[in-house]
Amino acid sequence: MSELDPLVPERFQRFRRLPVTRDQVMLLLAATGELALGGETYLAHSMSGTIVPREWIPIVFGFVAGGTLLVAGVIALRHRTAATLLATVTLVLSIGVGLLGAYFHLVRAAVPGAVPGQRLTIDLLVWAPPVMGPLVFSLIGLLGVSAAWPEDRPDSGVLFLLGDRTLRLPYSKTRAYLLMVAVGILAALISSVLDHARTGFTSVWVWVPTIVAVFGVVSAVTLAALAHPTRADLATFVVAMALLLVIGPVGSVLHAQQNLVAGSTVVLERFLRGPPALAPLLYSNMGLLGLAVLVAPERASTRSAIAA
């Protein structure tokens, strides 16, 4: 039995029983996330007018990784082990691409010749390329690796590896997913705060995503930390994730409106250099991931499946 089963009213249980398992949903979201990151990174790196060779790394990788994960999903229908290994290699590389990108962005923000204490400041981080942005690659990689290797029983915390080898985690997959969702929301929050700091937080609208993100982080961490959560705790988490789903499209519309000129004319240059129209959708992605945690996991032991 899953940790969340007792919290879900019986009349809602059927909504958790999808034709696919929770891990499969997570891997599908990881694949689409990689593809989306490839496109979004291309738009972000196009702002300079010229994309240097190292800036092509996350662009090309996003599309290749997304396609590879989709292929792995097809292979898994016949050869679970081969698909798991292919997905794992791709997702581990995604973690590396994210860390490398964060390093490059951090280097761009620093002033090597400045006096100690002034080489990296909050003002420099505000106007520099988003340091937290590339780490989304790492988050997707970590989440995907967790989904690629099956759990013995729902929320047992024991993962099956190759052959008869197992790995016992200090917490269940459900709690691991919740903590990763919280980290993802926190990354979106920090990126949003640094981006909106350029406006001085003069508009009340920029406070809304900040408050919603804080609510999302707290609700996810709380649900993961509680030994005996209640239905009220689960309902609070669902509300938080639903708010994140809504705030993403609203933010995208507001950003797009900021980029329009007189007469609602679209000027591509303004969309490249103005408020990023796609960035707020990261909130929606995190909300969707949070709700995906509620999908029912695999019921039976999958030792034979991974060994096949």
What pLDDT shows up at residue 1?
54
Low-confidence ranges of the chain (pLDDT < 70): 1-3, 5, 10-18, 47-49, 111, 113-128, 163, 255-256, 258-278, 298-308
What pLDDT shows up at residue 31?
94
Angstrom CA distances, 23 to 124, 147, 236, stand at 39, 5, 23
What pLDDT shows up at residue 221?
95
What pLDDT shows up at residue 158?
78
Task: Give the span between the Cα atoms of 281 and 261, in whole angstroms.
Answer: 23
What pLDDT shows up at residue 138?
93
What pLDDT shows up at residue 41?
86
pLDDT tens string 167-207: 787 888 888 899 999 999 998 888 888 777 777 777 777 88
DSSP string of the chain, one letter each residue: --TTGGGS-GGGGGGT--SS-HHHHHHHHHHHHHHHHHHHHHHHHGGGSS--GGGHHHHHHHHHHHHHHHHHHHHTTT-HHHHHHHHHHHHHHHHHHHHHHHHHHHHHH--TTSPTTSSS-HHHHHHSS-SSTTHHHHHHHHHHHHHHSPBSSTT--EEE-STT-EEE-SS-HHHHHHHHHHHHHHHHHHHHHHHHGGGTT-SGGGHHHHHHHHHHHHHHHHHHH-SS--HHHHHHHHHHHHHHHHHHHHHHHHHHHHH-BGGGB--HHHHHHSS-SSTTHHHHHHHHHHHHTTS----S--HHHHH-
pLDDT tens string 241-255: 999 999 988 887 776
The sign of the dihedral angle between the CA atoms of 55, 137, 130, 283 is: positive
Q: Which residues on adjacent β-strands are paired with residue 142?
A: none
What pLDDT shows up at residue 11?
60
What pLDDT shows up at residue 308?
44
pLDDT tens string 98-123: 999 988 888 877 767 666 666 666 66
Task: Give the span between the Cα atoms of 236 and 296, in whole angstroms.
Answer: 19
What pLDDT shows up at residue 248?
86
Helix orientation angle between 56-75 and 22-45, rounded to the nearest 10 degrees: 160
What pLDDT shows up at residue 246?
92
